Amino acid sequence: MVDLTSKISGVEFKNPIIVGSATPTWDSKRIKRCITGGAAGAIAKSLFSNSAAIGRKYPRPRFKLFNYREYPDYPKKLPDSFTLRSLEECSSFGYEDYMRDVNDAKDLVKDDGIVIASLSGSTKEEWKTMCEMVNETKADWVELNNSCPFAADMGIKIGAGAVDLTKEFVHACSNVLKKPFSVKLTPQTSDSIYLAKMVEAEGASAVNLSARLSGIMLDIETASPIGWGSIGGYGGPYLLGYGLKTVFQIAKEIRIPIIGGLGVWKWQDIVSYIMAGASIVQTVTGVMLKGFDITGKWVKCIEAWMDAKGYKNLGDIKGLALENIKKTSEVEREYPGIQFAINRDLCNKCGVCKKSCMYEAISITKVGAVINDELCDRCGMCYEVCPERAVRINRT
């Protein structure tokens, strides 16, 4: 049997998957469904302080998907790259109702999963008040959300709009909280490593990497933002590479555990984050578009894959990729012995490779595409774009 448990600051997660703070966790009943569906834990939708109470009311509608339904064979097949925009800053609850709902969630979940409260304030006093209140709840863990992607646009020093106050806020909360806590960092900063080291020094039990970006899409016919008219959360599977980069960079610099998560869409993404150095991984979009039970399916896939590979526990794969990730200065810059050739049996003379060749090395003949080896730069674009996979790489 493969052991998928992970223990952080004395809190044991039955598997490495948790559901992040969003619509799937907006109340206790939804949190229960997250756990029943297979996740090890769930982060309740963030409680914003009273000074940011405007975020407790959402525009309708508040979600917009780009390049999703347009995918061939949808809904039988789902795209691996699309954009999800939304505007739902925080929980719709006030202080008292939020704490009550966290308790209700733990009563429903019991020992089957980890209930994580999430807080975001705009002053030290607000942070302290919320921390004192959450101390009295049954929450297993607390997330300090200093990363809401569009908080800066609200004109309030909160979330990503308060990155410069991270040290001050975390220090204030660390002196009050009686529960293990993590700090959720924004990717919208010039130095994630600095922030991660800072929150570690201020006593965080773990660091969450990371929140979504903020973004906007325009309707050129009306010259207006599509949807509700402002920026919003901007995410999707295409951000996986960005999230993995942040995790592996920080994993080599801090000692506290990392909760990874950005662009998670498949079970393989969970494995990738753990190999990059994360201890557990959060997902939101996957649950929102594939259903609450997708995490349970992912768990079974991870177990089967690890068993087939001979891995016994998460420790066998945690950080496994770190030694294989090179600095750009270490990348081989030459291409001796590499040639590109065309499989005549597969080439249908479509000309896609020729359009994409910036070196004019490809011509389309009666027998198919032909590559001029003297002009070829070995860039590999023809190999990537060929719809028939007729281009092959020869190495000598």
Query: Concatenated DSSP letters for 61-90?
Result: S-EEEESSTTSTTTTTS--SS-EEEE---S
User: What does the pLDDT look like over 315-372, one tens digit per residue?
Assistant: 999 999 999 999 889 988 877 789 999 999 999 999 999 999 999 999 999 999 999 9
Q: Which of 131, 148, 173, 353 is catalytic?
A: 148
Distance separating alpha carbons of residues 272 and 278, to the nearest angstrom = 9
Distance separating alpha carbons of residues 236 and 234, to the nearest angstrom = 7
pTM of the model: 0.93
Domains and CATH numbers, the chain: 6-324 (3.20.20.70), 332-395 (3.30.70.20)
DSSP secondary structure code for residue 313 in this structure: B
Range scoring the smallest mean pLDDT among 148-157, 253-262, 327-336: 148-157
Burial class (CB in 10 A: 0-12, 13-18, 19+), 221: exposed
301 is annotated as an active-site residue: no
Q: Rounded to a whole number, what is the largest CA-CA distance in the chain? A: 77
User: What does the pLDDT look like over 262-298, one tens digit per residue?
Assistant: 999 999 999 999 999 999 999 999 999 999 999 999 9
Distance separating alpha carbons of residues 265 and 263, to the nearest angstrom = 6
Nearest CA to 263 out of 288, 283, 279, 246 is that of 283
Q: What is the mean pLDDT of residues 60-69?
A: 91
- Give the 3-state DSSP-derived string for 190-230, with helices as H, strands as E and coil as C: CCHHHHHHHHHHCCCCEEEECCCEEECCEECCCCEECCCCC
